[in-house]
Structure formats: structure tokens, C-alpha cells
Amino acid sequence: MAKKNVTFFCKECGYEAAGWMGKCPACGQWNTFTEAPSGAAASGKSSRPESPVYKANSFSWTDSAVTVRLGDAGKEHYSRHSTGVACLDGLFGGGITDGSVTLVVGEPGIGKSTILMQLINTFKSDSEILYVSGEESPAQIGMRAQRLGVTRNILICGETRFESIAEQIKEYKPSLCIVDSIQTLYSDEISGTPGSITQTREVTAGIIRIAKTNNISFILVGHITKDGSIAGPKTIEHMVDTVLTFDGDNTGGYRILRSVKNRFGKSNELAFFEMGDKGLRPVESSKALLVAGRPIDSPGSVLTSVLEGNEALICEVQALVAQSCYPNPQRMTSGPDRNRVMMLLAVCDKIFRLNMSSNDCFINVIGGLKISDPASDLAICAAVISSARGVSVRPNTLIIGEVGLSGEIRPVSRIMKRISEAGKLGITTVVIPGSLESSIEKEMSEFMSSGKAASDSLESIVRLYPDNLSEAVDMLFTRAD
Ligand code: TYD
Ligand code: MG
């Protein structure tokens, strides 16, 4: 579709419009419209026809220009190269696929450049690796590589002009090309400053075409702020094959790398790392989520189990409910979705009269983990009630269940998977939705009779089955002894 004198675009999703708007009609965000760089607007015509990205690559996105039968498609075998780190391979679906384009996004300083530099050293391929850096000089990269103990003699290209980079790629034919970061790249032929939506999108399109036609794997780095307000990476997520996001607390030592999209494997896989003086080191999830070092007998702290990809993670949820000194009480969340928490607060307030209208509430998931699993609802409610009342929950209790608007506890999926690791982490009680009682007890007895190694630790765990929040509170705040 031809663009008409585009002068404004949405910073969130890249939607373009002729005039400024308060709310973006595409993504629904407020106050995200900003003026497009003057060139595109003044010329009043699309920059695309002149773009070398389009001129030089006037073929289709993938290489299959012909129509084929489904039975004949997919016979081509994608070869993969291992990253040399098992948990990273898992994120890519078993190694980096040839000709794939991966986007690694995260806040500045979270460790994107560090992990990629480490990956270079262990990447299992004899051919060249090209590191395109628009952020750091080759000298800086050299120093970092020395500190991280990188011995592989890779090529470094300190260039930000897309056309020059494309020439370098043509000359050296690397098997892997890392671009740090995509926001620093620009093309002469496209209007707009480096990092603008148009530049980022068009340069990425050019990179994808190079990757698909030459079978070169690319890893692109994209910066994103906490609220995702720098839009570049967001707008190119749909174009690339794999998107890895870096979560975790910048100031803490633990980082979580998550595959949010993967065209070559399962998505939502997680890998945990610890930042040390020699870069990022893989760690076990239970260590990263600090389950072992959690406060015991402390009001507002509870444990829950959330499913991430194929893994059930046991993590600590903390709540602080305190008298507010503002006319509008504060609601802050780090980890769970804020709107979900608001709903749970309303349910708790209605049933237990917690006086939330004059109390601030803060919810935090330890380790910087973002959780979206509704099975954590009951744990969030328990943490809030525990903090508001100043009473700690039963010690070493794992709390699982989705909470409905009337305070009923609804069933959750894959409960055995969620509790299977509980015994190893010192859990002595699990709180499970009441509606699952018969199926779980049946499965438990089968599990026990099968004589599996884990069955001993599971057998000794007390299982409680509340049907609603009031019953759960009676069970959770009654000491076992
Ligand atoms: P960096 O990878 O440059 O972050 P990004 O590319 O995502 O912006 O580095 C992140 C932080 O990690 C930086 O503040 C310094 C710290 N760091 C270490 O603690 N140990 C190390 O070995 C390295 C290389 C970095
Ligand atoms: Mg960096």
C-alpha cells in the first residue's frame, strides 16, 4: 500500500498516520505518537522504491518462489550448529539453525553483549564469525573478549552503514553474524535517523534477505526499556525467526533468558544465568530463584509453582501491604501482571475487608522472573493477606491455584509436574485446588505404587485441598504443629 505523506508514527507499534493522535488505533497505547524524521515527510513519498534493501533484494522473503505440495515441502533439512552451552541450545530449539535470524532484546546493561561474546567462543562451527558493533569500538570489544577469556579470532566490523556491512558479509561469507545493536544501523537510502522505526525495520528486512539467501545465521541485539517504550525491537519481532528476551534484575546477579518466539523449536523455554566477573554462567533455576535463601516465618512471603515452557519453576512471591500516605494508594508489581494483581486485590478486599483503599500494595517475584501463569493467583492472595494481617503462612508450603472473582479456587493444569520437584526443595505442604482432589489422590497412589525415586519425598508432603479463599486462609494460617 502506498504511504501518503507520513508525518507521525507510534513509538510502540510503528503505526503510521498523517496527523498526531492521542491514542494509537493499532495498539491502543496513549501518547505514543511522535513526529517522523523530516526527510520522509517532506519528500511526501515512500522511501521504499529507492531503498537498496528493496532494489538489491527484489526476491521473496524465503527462497521458495514456486508453489509446492505440502508433502514435498519440509524435505529440506535445516542444519543446526550448537552454541556449546546446553541451556542456550535449548532456547534455540537445539542449536542455531543455519539462515535463521534471532533477536535478543533486553534493557541496556543486562548482559546482551556479554552473552553473545561468550557464545562466540563456544560456537561449534569452523567457519568465520563476524561481529558488527555499532556501540563499542573494536578496542573495547577486544578488552571485553580478553576479560571473558574469548580465544576465537573472529572478525570485528565497527561499521553502522548497512550497505558497507552487506559488502563485508559478501566478502567474508561468515556462518554467523552478530549485530550489536540493530538500532545503531542505518541505510543511506532510507530517511530517518538510526534507531527510528523506518530505519530499524528496513535494515532488518535487508538482513533477513541476506540471511535467507546466503544461509547465514544472524543474531541481532535490540535495546528495550522497562516499559518497552523504545519501539525499534518491538516492531521487528514479527519479522525475525526467534526472539530471546533478557529478564532479571540489572542490579542483582541473576539473569533469565527466555525464548518468546521460536520458528525452529518450542517457545517459552528459559535459561538462568549468574553474572560474575567472568561473564554469565549458567545456573540451576532453583538457585537463581533463591528458594533456598528465602526468609522463613516472614509475613508476606509465599512459594508457588509456575509453568514456563516445559518446566515447572518453584518461586517466591512477596507482598507488602502498608498504610498509604497518598490520596491514591500505590499498586506496584514486579513479576506478575498489574491488572491481574488489581483484580486479586479486589477479591481479597471484598472477602477479608483488608481496607485496601487506604493501603499501598507492592508485589514482587524474586529473581526478576515475569509470571503470567494464573496458577500463581492463590499465592499472590495468600501473600497479600499474610502481609496485611502481619501473620506468616504455614512454613515450607507451596501454594497453587487460580482464583475466580467470587473467591473460588479453580483447577490448574499439569499439577503433578508442578509438585514433582517440591520434596527436593524442602516443601512439606502443598495447597492444591479442591476440585483436583480425587484425580490427584488417584494419580498419587499410582505414582507411589510405581516406586519411582521421587515418590518417597512426595509421599511425606501434606496435601491440602481448599475450594475457596476462605478455606485456603483457614488452612494456610493454621500452624501445622
Ligand atoms: P553488557 O553485556 O555490556 O550489557 P548490554 O550489552 O546488555 O547493554 O554488560 C552488562 C553489565 O554486566 C555491565 O554493567 C557490566 C557487567 N559485567 C559483569 O559484571 N561481568 C563481566 O564479566 C562483564 C563482561 C560485564
Ligand atoms: Mg551491549
CA atoms of 309 and 238, how far apart (whole Å): 20
The Å distance, Cα 386 to ligand 1 centre, comes to: 37
Could you tell me if 180 and 165 are in contact, meaning their C-beta atoms sit under 8 angstroms apart?
no
Q: Which of 275, 280, 281 to mutate to test the pocket of ligand 1 (most atoms within 8 A of CB)?
A: 275
- What local confidence, expressed as pLDDT, does residue 76 receive? 64
pTM of the entire structure?
0.78
- Answer yes or no: is the C-beta of 136 below 6 A from any ligand 1 atom: no
- Answer yes or no: is the C-beta of 183 below 6 A from any ligand 1 atom: no
Q: Which ligand is nearest to the CA of 135?
A: 2
The Å distance, Cα 308 to ligand 1 centre, comes to: 26
pLDDT mean over 69-95: 84
> Is cis: bond before 181, omega within 30 of 0?
yes
pLDDT surpassing 50 at residue 59:
no
Which of the pair, 168 or 78, is modelled with greater confidence?
A: 168
Which of the pair, 55 or 241, is modelled with greater confidence?
A: 241
- What local confidence, expressed as pLDDT, does residue 295 receive? 84
- Answer yes or no: is the C-beta of 278 below 6 A from any ligand 1 atom: yes
The Å distance, Cα 137 to ligand 2 centre, comes to: 11
The Å distance, Cα 87 to ligand 1 centre, comes to: 19
Start-to-end CA span in the chain (Å): 71
- What local confidence, expressed as pLDDT, does residue 52 receive? 41
Query: For 413-454, how does the pLDDT look when each residue is reduced to its tens digit (9 = 90+)?
Result: 999 889 888 888 888 999 999 999 998 888 878 877 776 655
pLDDT mean over 314-322: 94
Query: For 320-343, how does the pLDDT look when each residue is reduced to its tens digit (9 = 90+)?
Result: 999 999 889 999 999 999 999 999
Q: Which ligand is nearest to the CA of 115?
A: 1
